[in-house]
Amino acid sequence: MDKTFVPADYIPILVQFAVAFGFVLITMTLTHIIGGKRKKIHTIRKEENFECGIEVKGNARFPFSVQYFLIAILFVLFDVEIIFFYPWAINFKSTGWNGFFEMLLFLGFLMFGFYYIIQKGAFKWD
C-alpha cells in the first residue's frame, strides 16, 4: 500500500453522520407536527398494549429464556476471536507457512471451545 492513512480520513464519516442525523431529526419533527392532530383522543382502551384483543396480563418486562443470553455471551467471545483473525489475514502473504501454522494452533483452541459448547448443548432449543 503506497497510500498513507491519517485520522483526517474519518472526517467524511462525521459529515455523513451529520447529514443522516439531520435527515432523521427533520423527518421525526415533521411527522410529529403534521401527523393527524385532529384525532388525538386519549382513552385507556386505546393506549393499552396490543394483545390480540384480550385483556392485557401484566407487564412485558419479564424474564425470558436464558438461551438468548447464552447466545449473546458466546457472541462476545467469538466476535473478539474473529477480530484477532483480521490482522493475520491482512499480513497472510508475508507471514507464509509459519504464520499459517501458528494460526492453526489458535484455530485449534477456538475449535476445541466451539466443540465444547456444542456438546454442552448451547444450541439445543426446545
Q: What angle do CA 42, 45, 48 make, to 5 degrees?
A: 90
Q: Does the footprint of other proteins cover residue 36 (CB under 8 A)?
A: yes
Residue 55 CA to residue 18 CA, distance in Å, equals 44
Q: Does the footprint of other proteins cover residue 114 (CB under 8 A)?
A: yes
Interface pick for other proteins out of 1, 54, 66, 105 (rule CB under 8 A): 1
Q: Does the footprint of other proteins cover residue 64 (CB under 8 A)?
A: yes
Residue 36 CA to residue 25 CA, distance in Å, equals 19
Task: State the minimum distance, in angstroms, from the CB of residue 5 to other proteins.
Answer: 4
Interface pick for other proteins out of 55, 86, 112, 119 (rule CB under 8 A): 86
Contacts of 113 (CB under 8 A, 6+ apart): 77
Q: CA 117 from chain center: how many Å? A: 21
Interface pick for other proteins out of 21, 106, 109, 116 (rule CB under 8 A): 21
Residue 74 CA to residue 122 CA, distance in Å, equals 9
Footprint of other proteins on this chain (CB under 8 A)?
A: 1, 5, 9-13, 15-21, 23-25, 27-28, 30-32, 34-36, 39-40, 44, 46-52, 59-62, 64, 68, 71-72, 75, 78-79, 82-83, 85-86, 89-93, 96-97, 100, 103-104, 107, 111, 114, 118, 123, 125-126
